[in-house]
């Protein structure tokens, strides 16, 4: 299964919030440190940026869910 980056967020906490919303809608989510080539979590910990990734087949639906959250102001994304 191929995954696609939906959004790059500031830190793991923000990524976990988005993951919670998407998984509640039945969408699988992977969180990947956006700093992976530069040391990833070993160097930056949870404070560095994270990529929120979803399966390619769920990308459009996930993008719609995220847009809805942004419109309602429920998520600072």
Which CATH number does the domain housing residue 27 bear?
A: 3.30.70
- In angstroms, the CA 70 to CA 36 distance is 27
pTM (two decimals): 0.81
pLDDT digits 0-9 by tens, 21-71: 999 999 999 999 887 655 555 555 666 889 999 999 999 999 999 999 888
At 1, the pLDDT band (50, 70, 90 cuts) reads confident
Asked if pLDDT for residue 15 goes beyond 90, the answer is yes
Range of 33's domain? 3-75
pLDDT at 35: 72
Query: Which own/partner pairs from 63-67 qualify as long-range (CB within 8 Å, at least 24 positions apart)?
Result: 63/6, 65/21, 65/22, 65/25, 65/27, 66/6, 66/7, 66/18, 66/21, 66/22
Asked if pLDDT for residue 8 goes beyond 60, the answer is yes
Tally of domains in the chain:
1
- In angstroms, the CA 32 to CA 25 distance is 20
């Amino acid at each position: 299964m191929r995954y696609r980056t939906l959004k790059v967020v500031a830190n793991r906490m923000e990524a976990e919030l988005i993951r919670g919303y998407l998984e509640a809608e039945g969408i699988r989510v992977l969180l990947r440190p956006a700093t992976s080539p530069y040391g990833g979590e070993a160097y930056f910990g949870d404070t560095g940026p994270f990529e929120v990734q979803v399966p390619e087949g769920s990308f459009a639906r996930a993008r719609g869910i995220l847009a809805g959250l942004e419109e309602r102001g429920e998520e600072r994304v």
